[in-house]
Structure 1
Amino acid sequence: MSKITSGSGDAAAAPLPYAVIGAGPSGLAATRALTRRGIAVLGYELNADVGGLWDIDGPRSTMYESAHLISSKTTTQFAELPMGDDVADYPSHRELKKYFHEYADRFGLREHYRFGTEVTQVEPHPDGGWMVRSRSLRASTSGGSASTSGASGGGASTSGASGGGASTSGEHAETVDRVAGVVIANGTLSEPNVPQLKGGFDGEIFHTSAYKKATVLAGKRVLIIGAGNSGCDIAVDAVHHADSVDMSVRRGYYFVPKYLFGKPADTLNQGKPLPPRIKQAVDSRVLKLFTGDPVKLGFPKPDYKIYESHPIVNSLILHHLGHGDLSIKPDVDHVDGSTVFFRDGTSRDYDTIVLATGYTLHYPFIDPALLRWNGWSPQLYLNIFSPQRDDLFVMGMVEASGLGWQGRYEQAELIASYVQAKADRPDEAAAFAAKTRGPQPDLTGGYHYLGLERMSYYVNKDAYRGAVRAAIEELS
């Protein structure tokens, strides 16, 4: 049985709220930016508390025990809440979960969320705004002020702490809320990309999203397919437990150590950005001084220039390769029983295959056409604004080296500026909305990114933040 509510109480007495789906970093940023301007928010979150995928106990968290930030706290943190001196340069997921709790506490964000709630459908309302259909995953849930908050990994999540939020009882009780607009902020790293290997494998196969701790690899002959940041982390974990560890890769990578000259690497060169060709030439030479040549350790030579794909922030993988703790294999051709056959004609037996093959964008609760989905990802203005609707936004669908959560907060600030302009300066808002239906500004910063699925929403940090800040100024 469904209960229909106006989302924020009597629609005649108060404006409809904006739905925010997810309470991870992007969802929290959106809720903070909107409520800071007095815009009502009805938040939805699948987990029992805030933190997104950084809450390892969340129902769709893809976190693992050894996970840490690959960017430093200095370049990642929200400007309104710097991390303390007692927090490590590269915090663990435990420290980050605590940080998001502090952020939610500081700005009273939990009261806007309905936790333990899954969004199942978002669709336009015939009289304007949207209908958000959700279900409570707890025995009882009450809208109003929530005392807990939840992880926004992947699928649907709901929470909303406005006074008229629905009060339902009974497991999986369904609620339908009418809202003024929708901000999708359920993350980009919750839906695993699982390739189908040719043939049949007799051992265990699992995606990195299911990996929690290295002890599951104890005594096993392990093949890790893919060498992204998670794959390299898990390989470093595995060498201390597994009988053997190999990594299968298709292309070469650039490896960035976490420290250069005694400082977190991403805190260097924070001034005016260098032209791409100069930065690529300088940084590739600096990296060779610190990491050597990965090709000599078995990796293929990259078929692209540095920064044209996301670098691997893990030099320990090179350390273990140099010590013979693992080895590099080419792309997999097929599997048969316990044997994996590689493209170069070699083969080896394994007990476990770990798929470090990344994630796909996952917005299952909304019609893809409303996001102008084309190929691998939605085609959104500034990776935020749907050209189909002026009341539909996506938070966090952006990847860039060094963008951090502050860069995502600026996304939220732009959304809030636009929503406020619609109410106070409709002509200016309409002019901006017309832009969102036009061509996308160049967000590459002059870099030629690889044409891969995981790069389909990749931008240059400086070009992107500049464009977003300019749009905020235009609407201010």
Structure 2
Amino acid sequence: MNAYPGMPAPEGATLADGRAVVNDLLLYWIHHGRISVRPGIERFDGNTVHFSDGTARDYDTILWATGFNVRLPFLDDSLFRWAGGAPVRYAGGTVTEAVEKLYFIGLIAPRGPQIPIYGMQAKLVARMIELHEQAGPGGAQIAGYLASLQEPQTGIDVVRDSWLKQMADTERLLAAYEMSSGNATPSLQPA
């Protein structure tokens, strides 16, 4: 029997049997009524949200927490190559091979604390944006360059050490790219 009505049954009996849980207080707050689980959203009507079970309620704020469902409804799925339910990415999960100047921050969850991940990815993205600006109006082919030299990242829940190695490799490859283009700038090393 599911102890949390309205939530899907867990994949396994223990955390080791299922996907990673970022916040271990989620079930506590659901149980104590501070967080309510709602069915799928059918439509919005101003502040009124209409749910798939026929109910409706007014909300001031909606947090779309998809967990590990990484579909991006505002982007056409055909823009990327997909594997395992996620876009294939490079550079520590920040770029795809086909779309320059599109960056993902937080679309990967190396095991351990997540807040440092976002900062490290943001610094890396800032560096790539700077390289695009230095290249002029057409930008640079950074995503394609990295995709041609790195193994693809297809997972969301990944081993932190492997992710850190790809981030270090990305730093090395960007430094080589800068040197070859004659636009060497100080390296932004991950914290």
Shift of 1:418: 1.4
Determine if contact 1:377/1:457 at 8 Å carries over to the other structure. Answer: yes
Query: Is the aligned partner of 1:368 residue 2:148?
Result: no
Residue number among 107, 118, 133 corresponding to 1:408 in the alignment: 118
Query: Is the aligned partner of 1:434 residue 2:145?
Result: yes
Residue number among 132, 157, 167 corresponding to 1:458 in the alignment: 157
CA offsets 1:378-427 (integer angstroms, 9 cap, x no match): 1111322121122111221011221421211111111111121233368x
Report SS of the residue matched to 2:168.
helix
Query: Distance in 1 between the 2:22 and 2:119 partners?
Result: 25
Structure 2: segments with no counterpart, 5+ residues: 28-65, 175-186
Determine if contact 1:413/1:472 at 8 Å carries over to the other structure. Answer: no
Residue number among 251, 256, 275 corresponding to 2:12 in the alignment: 251
Instruction: Spell out the pairing of 1:69-84 with structure 2 (5 A cutoff).
Output: none
Shift of 1:438: 5.3
Shift of 1:371: 2.7
1:281 aligns with: none
CA offsets 1:270-324 (integer angstroms, 9 cap, x no match): xxxxxxxxxxxxxxxxxxxxxxxxxxxxxxxx5xxxxx85268759x9xxxxxxx
CA offsets 1:47-81 (integer angstroms, 9 cap, x no match): xxxxxxxxxxxxxxxxxxxxxxxxxxxxxxxxxxx
Residue number among 131, 151, 158 corresponding to 1:421 in the alignment: 131
Query: Distance in 1 between the 2:22 and 2:132 partners?
Result: 42
Determine if contact 2:96/2:143 at 8 Å carries over to the other structure. Answer: no
Determine if contact 2:146/2:170 at 8 Å carries over to the other structure. Answer: no
CA RMSD of aligned residues (A): 3.9
Instruction: Spell out the pairing of 1:335-346 with structure 2 (5 A cutoff).
Output: none
Instruction: Spell out the pairing of 1:49-448 with structure 2 (5 A cutoff).
Output: 223-224=3-4, 248-254=9-15, 302=17, 309-310=19-20, 360-381=69-90, 382-424=92-134, 430=141, 433-437=144-148, 439-440=150-151
CA offsets 1:249-274 (integer angstroms, 9 cap, x no match): 4433247xxxxxxxxxxxxxxxxxxx
| Larger helix percent | 2
Determine if contact 1:401/1:460 at 8 Å carries over to the other structure. Answer: yes
Determine if contact 2:128/2:142 at 8 Å carries over to the other structure. Answer: no
Determine if contact 2:111/2:159 at 8 Å carries over to the other structure. Answer: yes
Distance 1:313 1:408, change over 3 A: closer
Query: Distance in 2 between the 1:366 and 1:392 partners?
Result: 11
Report SS of the residue matched to 1:407.
helix
1:181 aligns with: none
Distance 1:402 1:418, change over 3 A: same
Query: Is the aligned partner of 1:468 residue 2:167?
Result: yes
| Larger strand percent | 1
Determine if contact 1:399/1:458 at 8 Å carries over to the other structure. Answer: yes
Q: Tell me the amino acid that sits aligned with residue 145 of structure 2.
A: A
CA offsets 1:219-266 (integer angstroms, 9 cap, x no match): xx974379xxxx7xxxxxxxxxxxxxxx944433247xxxxxxxxxxx
Structure 1: segments with no counterpart, 5+ residues: 1-220, 232-246, 256-301, 303-307, 318-356, 444-454
Distance 1:368 1:314, change over 3 A: closer
CA offsets 1:88-138 (integer angstroms, 9 cap, x no match): xxxxxxxxxxxxxxxxxxxxxxxxxxxxxxxxxxxxxxxxxxxxxxxxxxx
> How many pairs are equivalent?
132
Distance 1:378 1:407, change over 3 A: same
Q: Tell me the amino acid that sits aligned with residue 458 of structure 1.
A: D
Determine if contact 1:225/1:248 at 8 Å carries over to the other structure. Answer: no
Report SS of the residue matched to 2:128.
helix
Under a length normalisation based on structure 2, what TM-score does the superposition of the two structures give? 0.52
Query: Distance in 2 between the 1:363 and 1:407 partners?
Result: 20
Under a length normalisation based on structure 1, what TM-score does the superposition of the two structures give? 0.23
Q: Specify the structure having the higher radius of gyration (Cα).
A: 1
